[in-house]
Structure 1
Amino acid sequence: MTLILGVPLSVLLGQLLLGLINGSFYALLSLGLAIIFGLLRIINFAHGAQYMLGAFAAFLGLNYLGVSYWAALILSPLLIGGFGILIERYLLRRIAGEDHLYGLLLTFGLALIIEGSFVKLFGMSGFSYPIPDLLKGGYNLGFMFLPTYRAWLVVAALVVCFATWYMIERTRLGSYLRAGTENPKLMQAFGINVPLLVTLTYGYGVALAAFAGVLAAPIYAVTPGMGANLLIVVFAVVVIGGMGSIMGAIVTGLAIGLIEGLTKVFYPEAANTMVFLIMVVVLLIRPAGLFGKEA
């Protein structure tokens, strides 16, 4: 049996793979936060609640309307993203010129209202969501048994993450979005509808959270508090990568997942706090984050 620092290689590889799965969630959720802050300068504290809404939309759609998992992957982000558009249009736009703190407080209040309403309606107990037949089973990798669904989760999350990065950083639409946030008056002078771009950007960030919620539904319990439990870690990931950095959110999310996996092998007691220790060190050395731009 091959040992690395006294740990069997199979155990090490298994934890790294689990870390990659968790890191895919971190990357996808962090990406939505990074887009909303980077392009709109809104600290979206309702992101965890919107993630939860995506999972509940899939769960309720299946149980009451017969909406399949594959349809939910499209319909839930569209529905919750539309809800996000209403939030930006009728709430966030009213405080667009104010300090970032106002947006944080508003979205924090929204998160409490949404989660409290769902606790009242559904209680705190979790609901199960079945894995689709096409993604049942798994693969024997030698060092562990990898469920097919978890492999799909990693692929789906990474494809969406890098497609989003490409759209924002390498396309004309992305250049319009970036320019519209840096100099909106100039863009409007060229005939670009900047308020519409802002609204759609916020809606897309919310839709990414809802997409992550649908992906999470078959492997985590669907509960009103599922987003709150994950949001603090995701915020730490965004801070480490650099507030507003798209690539920083993706790379840091994956890296934190892998680091957590290694920590569970060598020092399990620190696994839940490692991300915050890394955040403290990064803020002391580079306050803008690893991929962020200095003010």
Structure 2
Amino acid sequence: MFTGLLTHTVNGLVGGGFYALLALGLAVIFGLLRVVNFAHGAFYMLGAVGAFVLLEEFGLSFWTAIVLVPLVLGLLGTVLERTVVRRLSTLDPLYNFLLTFGLTLILQDAVKSRYGTQSKPYGAPAGLGGTVDFGVFDFPAYRIFVLAVAVALCALAWWLLTRTRVGMVVRAGIERPDLTRALGIDVGRWIAPVFGFGVALAALAGVLAAPMRAVNPLMGADLIIGVFAVVVIGGLGSVFGSVAVAFGVGLLQAWSEAYAPPLLAQTLIFLVMALVLLVRPAGLFGREERSA
């Protein structure tokens, strides 16, 4: 019983790591741009597909993919923001939501037409195919690696946002955009790089997911709904809130899938979201909007 609980707990932290990487990118993009990037799940899917393509068609390993794929997709995200998203930034936010939703459908159909709808296997990278002995239970080494990478990247992002000048400017633009601009700080110059950074995090999560989950065009469609719930619970635009809630939700889902009825396990995250919104509409760590 105790061993099973520990196993489910570590599994929950691993799942929370994926949520954290995706929610971190989504929260930063929304915080600075006020854009709900519905294509986030599609970029996650492209990360996994990119790793698969590099291995199958070019013979490049996972270790190459984990560097190259996020870099390429991050640059693509930067170009996308400068060429398309920015043009709609002065309009109702619904336009950018529809834009990213349409982009999601385009990317999914493009992958379907080239590689089909069947899931593709992707093996664990060399050196991470075994298990780690924790004394009371064994756990797959690759999953421990994923958790370590997710925690390290979240810590690095937090350090960049709180300990560097650029990070402080970005954080100020996220938390108090009107006041930041009123003080003459040019936040606009960082919008495209931040959008690209968010996309790169989603792509990296996709590369990490490839050896754990079958690679297919729809792998990001279900996950992104849960990520949106995480960001809403944590507070839209709250980087710390999104990451903290991501790991909490990962644990909650792992425990509920193991010990709760299937229907409750599938809907628990949305029940929690509804409860949080009823009590605190801005989310657990979000700022309440002040009326004029």
Structure 1 length as normaliser, TM-score?
0.92
- Corresponding residue SS for 1:146: strand
For residue 180 of structure 1, report the CA deviation from its aligned partner: 4.8
TM alignment of 1:215-254, pairs within 5 A: 215-254=208-247
User: What corresponds to 1:116 in structure 2?
Assistant: 109
**Which of 192, 200, 204 is 1:211 aligned to?**
204
- Corresponding residue SS for 2:214: coil
User: What corresponds to 1:26 in structure 2?
Assistant: 19
User: What corresponds to 2:268 in structure 1?
Assistant: 274
Counterpart amino acid of 1:280?
A: A
1:197 equivalenced with 2:186 (yes/no): no
**Which of 83, 89, 94 is 1:101 aligned to?**
94
User: What corresponds to 2:61 in structure 1?
Assistant: 68
- Corresponding residue SS for 1:84: helix
1:288 equivalenced with 2:282 (yes/no): yes
For residue 286 of structure 1, report the CA deviation from its aligned partner: 0.4
**Which of 43, 57, 62 is 1:50 aligned to?**
43
User: What corresponds to 2:10 in structure 1?
Assistant: 17
For residue 9 of structure 1, report the CA deviation from its aligned partner: 1.4
User: What corresponds to 2:142 in structure 1?
Assistant: 149
Q: 1:23–1:254: 8 Å Cα contact kept in structure 2?
A: yes
Counterpart amino acid of 1:289?
A: G
For residue 62 of structure 1, report the CA deviation from its aligned partner: 1.4
1:127 equivalenced with 2:120 (yes/no): yes
Counterpart amino acid of 2:68?
A: L
Q: Report how many residues are paired.
A: 285
Q: How far, CA to CA, are the matches of 1:75 and 1:281 in structure 2?
A: 41
For residue 143 of structure 1, report the CA deviation from its aligned partner: 4.3
Per-residue deviation, residues 64-120 of structure 1 (Å, max 9, x unmatched): 222221121111111111111121011101011122211111101100111111111
Q: 1:15–1:264: 8 Å Cα contact kept in structure 2?
A: no
For residue 169 of structure 1, report the CA deviation from its aligned partner: 2.7
Per-residue deviation, residues 195-240 of structure 1 (Å, max 9, x unmatched): 4311100000000000000000111011000011201011001000
Deviates more, 1:121-130 or 1:225-234: 121-130
Q: How far, CA to CA, are the matches of 2:76 and 2:169 in structure 1?
A: 24
Q: How far, CA to CA, are the matches of 2:111 and 2:243 in structure 1?
A: 30
**Which of 156, 168, 172 is 2:161 aligned to?**
168
Q: 1:14–1:143: 8 Å Cα contact kept in structure 2?
A: no
Q: How far, CA to CA, are the matches of 2:253 and 2:204 in structure 1?
A: 23
Q: 2:7–2:139: 8 Å Cα contact kept in structure 1?
A: no
For residue 268 of structure 1, report the CA deviation from its aligned partner: 3.4
Structure 2 length as normaliser, TM-score?
0.93
Q: How far, CA to CA, are the matches of 1:111 and 1:51 in structure 2?
A: 11
Q: How far, CA to CA, are the matches of 1:165 and 1:129 in structure 2?
A: 31
Q: How far, CA to CA, are the matches of 1:66 and 1:138 in structure 2?
A: 26
1:79 equivalenced with 2:72 (yes/no): yes
For residue 185 of structure 1, report the CA deviation from its aligned partner: 5.1
Q: How far, CA to CA, are the matches of 1:257 and 1:288 in structure 2?
A: 21
Q: How far, CA to CA, are the matches of 1:180 and 1:27 in structure 2?
A: 21
Deviates more, 1:273-282 or 1:261-270: 261-270
Q: How far, CA to CA, are the matches of 2:284 and 2:232 in structure 1?
A: 9
Q: How far, CA to CA, are the matches of 2:33 and 2:163 in structure 1?
A: 19
Q: 2:29–2:198: 8 Å Cα contact kept in structure 1?
A: yes
Q: How far, CA to CA, are the matches of 2:88 and 2:281 in structure 1?
A: 27
Q: How far, CA to CA, are the matches of 1:13 and 1:55 in structure 2?
A: 28
Shift >6 Å, 4+ stretches: none
For residue 250 of structure 1, report the CA deviation from its aligned partner: 0.7
Counterpart amino acid of 2:265?
A: A
Per the alignment, do residues 185 and 252 of structure 1 end up closer, same or farther by CA in structure 2, a change over 3 Å counting?
Answer: closer
Gapped regions of structure 2 (runs ≥ 5): none
For residue 145 of structure 1, report the CA deviation from its aligned partner: 2.3
User: What corresponds to 1:5 in structure 2?
Assistant: none
**Which of 108, 129, 147 is 1:136 aligned to?**
129
For residue 261 of structure 1, report the CA deviation from its aligned partner: 1.8
